[in-house]
Amino acid sequence: MDDLLEFSMGEAGRRVRARQFSFPELLEACLAREAATRDLNAFNALYRDQARNVAQASQTLLEQGYDLGPLQGMPIAIKANIALAGQEMHAGSRILAGSLAQRDAGVVRRLKRAGAIIIGSTNMHEFAWGGTTDNPHYGPSGNAWDGNRIPAGSSGGSGVAAAVRSALGALGTDTGGSIRLPAAMNGVTGLRPGVGRIATDGIFPLAASLDTVGPLAGYAEDCALMFSALTGDTVPAALPDLHGLRIGLLGEYSEKVQPDVARAYHDLTDWFRAAGGRCETLSFSGLEQAVNALVLINLAEPAALHAPWLADRAGEYGEDVRLLLQAGLGISAVEYLQAQRYRTALRQQMVEKFNQVDVILAPTLPFTAPLKGQTQVRIGDDEESVLTGNMRFNALASLAALPALNLPAGFDSAGLPIGMQLIGPDGGEQRLMGIAACFQRESDYHRRTPVMVNR
């Protein structure tokens, strides 16, 4: 059954239609993989009975001539802050524990209409405010390549599920990097759409002006299938090549990274050049202020939302999230507005740069997955906090409200995945996935089986 999990969703669907296996068999393979990797704690809940019923119904429909498209019968996981009618939606918190969703989130309705099977709800950092998925209420998740390391967050469970293939794809949310980070640390493709590209109704918010929802999957083409189902966009034909593609680089801003990350970054720029792309270094002002601006907004907006609970139920939060939310209560209107002004100026700079280039390339992270509990990472002669390192490159697209994608681009000397980030202009999601698919036709980083599967 493990062989069934090697395929992309598109290929799996084609093989089901060729009667090589069935949707129920594909689902059982995912459930077996979840059982084999359960100590990674990717899921908070599995909807086995419901999923099995839907898989059999999907198979019957297909056999009777009702073909719903490429997502029909595909097992997909959703993050625990996304509502599924009749199921608990706790957003990784104790405060919302036991709360049953009255209706599906918009993204769930769209996946269901496309025929997808919602296999379960994935673990996350409490209320999506953190980058480790070290959840005090539902337990920490482990990295797909080393269970002693973090899977990043806040969509850590979704990243792990997509990596070990206990689901063929997963939904995450991304405010300051929460799709791209777990995609990078677990070695999968993850797309943060531009703000507003996919409606967030039925999703518990973190910072409303920054929040997005998007797909994580082993293959870029699968992210494209999910994105198309979520937006109604037509799935584009794969890019035939990258000849003439203009790639913008960030110069010195991209250089303070671990040596293996630097190697992967330079290897990828070399690959782009060999594929016919043109790389040029862009000049920005004030990038070093991006993390501070993101932190200010990401403190103030969640604090405003959580203020009533902080007054009455503060003891029910995990300590790390409670401290962040309480710190947000101290952000002044002046500080918040200054951060928003910076955000406007950064977005203007980036929008203008897309007159020069088609895509901006940067590392997703300056380091690979830290150990659980590790708060500092050494980079050269300096140490950087995991929190600021998580945001250093991811803050750019988040603040500018632009689409960005993590692309698996190598492994470090310890065998941990390295991710690179592609940032695009407004509406550029499909091009980002097309570029990633081109790279994945010639690389195998996204197809390698995580160590934690083969223990």
The whole-angstrom separation of Cα 307 and Cα 319 is: 16
Q: From the CB of residue 314, how many other CB atoms can be counted at a distance below 10 Å?
A: 12
Main-chain phi, psi angles of 213, to 5 degrees: -135, 140
Reduced to 3 states, what is the DSSP secondary structure of residue 56? helix
Active-site position among 58, 121, 154, 158? 154
The whole-angstrom separation of Cα 370 and Cα 387 is: 11
Active-site position among 178, 228, 254, 398? 178
The whole-angstrom separation of Cα 276 and Cα 246 is: 9
Active-site position among 8, 22, 79, 166? 79
The HSE-up count of residue 166 (CA atoms within 13 Å, CB side) is 33
Alpha-carbon Rg for the chain, nearest whole angstrom, is 20
Question: Do 398 and 294 touch, CB atoms closer than 8 A?
Answer: yes
- Is the dihedral angle over the CA atoms 312, 313, 319, 322 positive or is it negative? negative
Is 209 designated active site? Answer: no
Is 154 designated active site? Answer: yes
Question: Do 407 and 422 touch, CB atoms closer than 8 A?
Answer: yes
Q: How far is CA 174 from CA 209, 391, 419, 424, in A?
A: 11, 12, 16, 16
The whole-angstrom separation of Cα 75 and Cα 68 is: 14
The whole-angstrom separation of Cα 300 and Cα 304 is: 6
Q: Which parts of 264-403 are beta strand (E)?
A: 278-281, 359-363, 376-379, 382-385
The whole-angstrom separation of Cα 37 and Cα 365 is: 25
Tell me which residues are annotated as active site: 79, 154, 178
